[in-house]
Amino acid sequence: MLKVGHRGASGIAPENTKAAFLKSIKLGLDMVELDIQLTKDNNLIVFHDYDLKRIAGLDEKISNMTLIELKEIDIGSWFSDEFSDERILTLKEVINLLKDKMKINIEIKINQQKSEIIMAKLLDILKEEEYEEGVIISSFDHRILKLIKRKNYSLRTAVLIGALPVNPIRLIQEAEADGIHPHYLTVNRALVEEVKDYGYFINTWTVNSKEEVDRLVKLGVDGIMSDYPELF
């Protein structure tokens, strides 16, 4: 079973930062999950939100700022003063930090206007960094997952879902994906067995209690994402 740090080890360090990823390495995790956003000057950065309000207290959208501008912003102090030196990382920087040590689950956020630009840049980076085998690409935008498969069928993809659909297998098949990433509260034995019977994988998010980790392990999920990897 894959032990996955959600946005790195984000329960013990600020999310999507070098500190969170280094702690994931130290804890011996198999994978980290992270999010990507596109800057004003078309660089892919590792950041969850569309704006800087929650993390930096700034009323600015990521899409309206350049990489140089974003690199000046403290994204660690909101968590603790000891992380005041943490800065936004590019996707390339994170891949180079982690690619010899663990796998990466890259989530593409829903972005109707720029989704295909984000996809193209992501595929280029993965090819340049020779990291196509070490990644799972997931998204709530199932259309973009299908486009990714049309561009590079060897890349592994997973449909993200927050609520259990009537037919999860059809959802996977329509996206031409390799697996499914459901919210942990939707996961039951029937879902796990059905997904595996069809030859797909099932990784679940975001599990922050030992009781739920134990339940999901018994059900036989392929991976568990958590803010607190010490639960594993």
**Would you please indicate which residues are annotated as catalytic (active-site) residues?**
6, 48
Judging by beta carbons within 10 Å of its beta carbon (0-12, 13-18, 19+), is residue 112 exposed, middle or buried?
A: exposed
Distances (CA, A) of 58 to 7, 62, 139: 21, 10, 26
Distance CA(165)–CA(142), nearest Å, equals 13
